[in-house]
């Protein structure tokens, strides 16, 4: 993902660590990216909030939500955060095998979540709630769709990482790469925590 810093001595592997603050460039960059993402999701969530009540009579949030279903898929995503953190922890112990296992489990749970979302979308669609049906539907699909794309990108990245670890092709510090992916993954989870409460649980 990220380049290593230009460095003034020849130990390429350690590049990026000799910094003014002693912090890793990559991690700093990731945190900034996540800070920036706050404003992206904030915008989408507020748009949804503004528009959630603007729909045709029988196709509003209260009519279409299936709280038990969404709760379970939220639970799945929450647990994927646990497996992710276990992957990071394994990577820190240089335990490649467990790292790969936990990363794969994380990707799997993520995929389960996305599958749940796809199911949810199709069932909403069958009930007549298309993307263009109402302001509520446009902003709902856009918000959750953006989140879903973030999860999907995360899944692809996790699987690629598993592959790269197997082939020993990770560029840079392996522990750190796993940690960075973890940060991204947890952030996506955190966003879902907000969405789950603000969008699903609080009635319009």
Site for other proteins in 101-130 (CB under 8 A): none
Task: Kindly state whether residue 152 participates in binding other proteins, applying the rule CB under 8 A.
Answer: no
146 phi and psi, to 5 degrees? -60, -40
At its nearest, how many Å lie between other proteins and the CB of residue 61?
Answer: 12
Nearest CB to other proteins, comparing residues 49 and 111: 49
Nearest CB to other proteins, comparing residues 12 and 115: 12
Task: Kindly state whether residue 10 participates in binding other proteins, applying the rule CB under 8 A.
Answer: yes
**What are all long-range contacts of 29-35, with beta carbons under 8 Å and residues at least 24 apart?**
29/2, 30/180, 30/183, 30/184, 31/183, 34/183, 34/184, 34/187
At its nearest, how many Å lie between other proteins and the CB of residue 10?
Answer: 5
Token pair of 197 as six digits: 């409460």
Q: Which of 161, 66, 160, 70 is nearest to 113 (CA)?
A: 70
Which of 19, 58, 123, 166: binder of other proteins (CB under 8 A)? 19
**Which among 84-92, 105-113, 115-123 is the span making contact with other proteins, rule CB under 8 A?**
84-92
Total residues contacting other proteins by CB under 8 A comes to 92
Task: Kindly state whether residue 71 participates in binding other proteins, applying the rule CB under 8 A.
Answer: yes
Which of 60, 61, 86, 165: binder of other proteins (CB under 8 A)? 86
Token pair of 186 as six digits: 């947890």
CA pair distance 153, 165, nearest whole angstrom? 18
Site for other proteins in 131-150 (CB under 8 A): 131-135, 137-139, 142, 146
CA pair distance 122, 130, nearest whole angstrom? 9
């Amino acid at each position: 993902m990220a380049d290593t810093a230009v460095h003034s001595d020849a130990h390429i592997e350690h590049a990026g660590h000799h910094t003014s603050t002693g912090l890793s460039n990559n991690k700093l960059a990731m945190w900034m990216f996540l800070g920036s993402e706050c404003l992206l999701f904030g915008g989408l969530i507020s748009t949804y909030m503004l528009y959630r009540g603007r729909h045709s009579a029988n196709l509003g949030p209260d009519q279409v939500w299936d709280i038990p279903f969404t709760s379970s898929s939220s639970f799945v995503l929450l647990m994927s955060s646990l497996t992710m953190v276990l992957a990071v922890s394994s990577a820190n112990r240089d335990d490649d095998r467990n790292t790969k296992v936990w990363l794969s489990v994380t990707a799997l749970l993520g995929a389960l979540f996305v599958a749940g979302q796809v199911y949810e979308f199709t069932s909403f669609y069958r009930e007549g709630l298309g993307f263009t049906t109402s302001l509520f539907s446009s902003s709902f699909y856009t918000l959750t769709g953006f989140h879903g794309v973030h999860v999907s990108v995360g899944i692809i990245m996790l699987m690629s990482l598993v592959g790269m670890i197997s082939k020993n092709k990770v560029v840079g510090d392996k522990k750190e790469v796993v940690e960075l992916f973890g940060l991204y993954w947890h952030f996506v989870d955190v966003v879902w925590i907000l969405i789950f409460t603000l969008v699903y649980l609080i009635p319009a």
